[in-house]
Structure 1
Amino acid sequence: MSNETVSADPIDPDALAEELARAATVRELQRIRGLLTIAVLIGLTVACFFARDVLLPIILGIMVSLTLSPVVRWAQRRGVTPPLTAVALILMLGGILGASGYAMSEPVTNWVQNAPEMGREVQRKLAGIFESVEKVQEASDQVEEMATDAEAGVQKVVLDQPGLLNSAASYAASIGTTLAVALVLALFLLASGDLFYTKIVESYPRLSEKKRALRIVYGVERAISRYLLTITAINAGLGLTVFAALWALGLPNAFIWGFVAFVFNFLPFIGAMAGTVLVGFYALVTLDTVGYALLMPTVYLTATSIEGQFVTPTILGKRLNMNTVSVFLTVVFWGWLWGIAGALMAVPFLVMVKVICDNVPSLRTFGSFLGGADTAVAAPAERSTA
């Protein structure tokens, strides 16, 4: 048996140096790409912050369009053209919003005008609680008086602030304008049918890319429509329940608090607590005894708790179950960026991002962090074999 010797090829120093240089270049490019990505995200955040008045109605209109697109497509299969269905849906939605705003305008205006008196009434009824705070307030007043004596020679300029009623009217006008622009945009998008979907698919050259784009588009539409339609129905039921319960207990203007429950329940975590506080404040002002007044926020909180713990999880199930941490961070971020309107749209936006991530291979890791359920849409061949 002969012994065979295996001789290793000599290492080429130039090739090794070239390979090391190439690896260093790749790492540098990756670092630059990461920095550019961070810079782009920061730039987009700043742009969204300053372009809120423009972007808010556009995003809201797109979400309304995505929500109602399956309805338009269902009517189209039965011979009704998309423009006719779109006009009917937008007129119905606009009529509901307009009627709700008109019904609430008079009592809300009275509340704004009588806000100081309402505050004093609450303070009178809760005098026992405020007594412990008065001592701290007196000490604070003494410190303020000492500071005022020290600055007696300094002339102060006080700017007149707009009245509370004027501020409320301006805010209501801003909300009305945003909703009007969003509804008009949604009307145009719905009336166009599948035109924009076709344009998106045609923009990709290869068939595999066209199929993936189509899966993403219909996946986003299906997820957003299913989530928003289901949540809207649940919130409407909650609003009717709160209205009926508070009306039966004798709380004036109970329909307003039913509408508040409907709207605030779109806001995770803090919507129920904010509604509970507002109902408690109003009940203390309008009802005679503190004990009976505290029954109103208790009923409100009970109804929202039952909805959040049992009704919504049972109806939605685990298909669109989102990571609680990601939902909380998204609500905080969009609430900081766009206020209440941003917080209300945070969860639908997160659902949209998750669907996109689940259908793009390079983003699936991030999509799995956002939620426990996979919202990737199966291809037609995969659905036929399932």
Structure 2
Amino acid sequence: MRRDFALTGIFVILVIYVLYFGREFFMPVILAFLFALTLTPIVRFAGKRGIPAPLSATLLVAASALVLTIGGYLLSGPIMQLVDDAPQIGRELTERMRELRSPLDRLLAISRQIDEAADTTNDQGVLKVAVQQPGILSQAAGNMLSAGTTIAIVFVLSLFLLASGTLFYEKIVQSFTTMTEKKRALRVVYDVEREVSRYLLTVAIINGGLGVVVCVGLWALGMPTPLLWGAMAALLNFLPYVGALMTILVVAVISIVTFDSLSYALMAPSFVILCNIIESQIVTPLVVGRRLELNAVAILIAVAFWSWLWGFVGALIAVPLLVVIKVFCDHFEGLQQIGNFLSAQQVLNQDD
């Protein structure tokens, strides 16, 4: 028993090690599988209407790439402007919130004096060495090249996955010997794919709708660059709890420095809060259903783990991966306890 436990622990550590140091390979592959699963219901629907899978897959991937390119082009200007205006936004926010900072000014002054005294002491006997870092432009160029390569791999691999049709299912079935095992494996694979693909597509549509509503609402309130905040709301909504909070905070900061009246400035973040409450408490449970609701603790653990492993991209795909794991575990008796733990509601035993 102890030996099996130790071997399992070693195996888990090795998997984490491989995923961490091999993220440049595994990240686009997993993103491609998730993206292909998201578009699979559309390809299947088109196939029932007589449209071949390679044609519908090519059109979907090309349309997705076009939307991403146009969206990136439209958002590049507001993002760069926001980065350039960040110091000015910080100063204006400090001025607007000065009355709230007055009780802390004395503590900040004391802390500043302590830091200055420590710096003076260090200057007397310590030689400071400054390591020259790569330039900002070179870092940005490297990041853009890496992101472009990852996106290209995701789209190309997704295209092949969608265009292959039932090839992977045929390979899985061929790996079993008896007809009973073949039927059971095929049923499990189809069930997992159907549930996961429907969930991913539905959540993507809901998040896109949330982004549109936020964009239109903030535009009506007079917020600058509402397209940027709508895109942020849609993207960060894949990150439960934390994503909505980040959107609310950013919108609140921009609103406070934009409008003169504090009461009117609070309308924009209040509207975003209202939209997120309606989406999370009414729309998503009604459309997705209760079966795929996840344990909040499991969600936070998954987001923390994948964000540590793969950064921001890992945080975004943490919940979709958790749904894949849950659905997979629900279809195997030996793994149903794990699926029960990941579920938001405890599954009662039929014998009770």
TM-score over 0.5 (shorter chain)? yes
Amino acid aligned to 1:126: M
TM-score, structure 2 as length reference? 0.92
Conserved? CA contact 1:57–1:178, under 8 Å:
yes
Residue of structure 1 equivalent to 2:53: 82
Q: 1:169 to 1:327 in 2, by over 3 A?
A: same
Amino acid aligned to 1:244: V
2:44 equivalent to 1:73: yes
2:290 equivalent to 1:311: no
Offset of 1:168 from its aligned partner? 5.5
2:23 equivalent to 1:52: yes
2:68 equivalent to 1:97: yes
Offset of 1:178 from its aligned partner? 2.2
Residue of structure 1 equivalent to 2:260: 288
| 2:266 alignment partner, SS class | helix
Conserved? CA contact 2:229–2:251, under 8 Å:
yes
- In structure 1, the gaps of 5 or more residues are 1-29, 376-386
2:121 equivalent to 1:118: no
Conserved? CA contact 1:223–1:351, under 8 Å:
no
> Which structure 2 residues correspond to residues 1-386 of structure 1 after superposition, within 5 A?
30-153=1-124, 154-161=126-133, 170-371=142-343
Q: 1:168 to 1:330 in 2, by over 3 A?
A: same
| 1:288 alignment partner, SS class | coil
Offset of 1:274 from its aligned partner? 0.5
Superposed CA offset, 1:192-224 (max 9, x none): 111111111111222232222212221221122
Measure, in 2, the Cα distance between the counterparts of 1:118 and 1:181: 37
Conserved? CA contact 1:320–1:373, under 8 Å:
no
Q: 1:132 to 1:171 in 2, by over 3 A?
A: farther
Offset of 1:187 from its aligned partner? 0.4
Q: 1:76 to 1:373 in 2, by over 3 A?
A: farther
Amino acid aligned to 2:122: E
Offset of 1:374 from its aligned partner? 10
Structure with greater Cα Rg? 1
* 350-359 vs 74-83, which moves further: 74-83
Q: 1:168 to 1:247 in 2, by over 3 A?
A: farther
Measure, in 2, the Cα distance between the counterparts of 1:167 and 1:305: 38
Superposed CA offset, 1:213-246 (max 9, x none): 2122212211221111111111121111111111
Offset of 1:267 from its aligned partner? 0.8
Conserved? CA contact 1:112–1:165, under 8 Å:
no
Superposed CA offset, 1:323-375 (max 9, x none): 22222222222122222211211111111111221122211222222226799
Superposed CA offset, 1:14-40 (max 9, x none): xxxxxxxxxxxxxxxx32111101110
Conserved? CA contact 1:112–1:164, under 8 Å:
no
Residue of structure 1 equivalent to 2:350: none
Measure, in 2, the Cα distance between the counterparts of 1:216 and 1:357: 10
Measure, in 1, the Cα distance between the counterparts of 2:18 and 2:69: 31
Amino acid aligned to 2:18: A
Measure, in 2, the Cα distance between the counterparts of 1:330 and 1:32: 27
* 330-339 vs 229-238, which moves further: 330-339
Superposed CA offset, 1:19-75 (max 9, x none): xxxxxxxxxxx3211110111001111211122221111001001112222322222
Amino acid aligned to 2:272: Y
Q: 1:366 to 1:305 in 2, by over 3 A?
A: same
Q: How many equivalent pairs are there?
A: 346
Amino acid aligned to 1:185: L
Conserved? CA contact 1:230–1:316, under 8 Å:
yes
CA RMSD of aligned residues (A): 2.1
| 1:314 alignment partner, SS class | helix
Measure, in 2, the Cα distance between the counterparts of 1:294 and 1:165: 36
Conserved? CA contact 2:32–2:157, under 8 Å:
yes
* 189-198 vs 201-210, which moves further: 201-210
Amino acid aligned to 1:77: K
Amino acid aligned to 1:42: I
TM-score, structure 1 as length reference? 0.84
Identity of aligned residues (%): 43
Offset of 1:170 from its aligned partner? 4.8
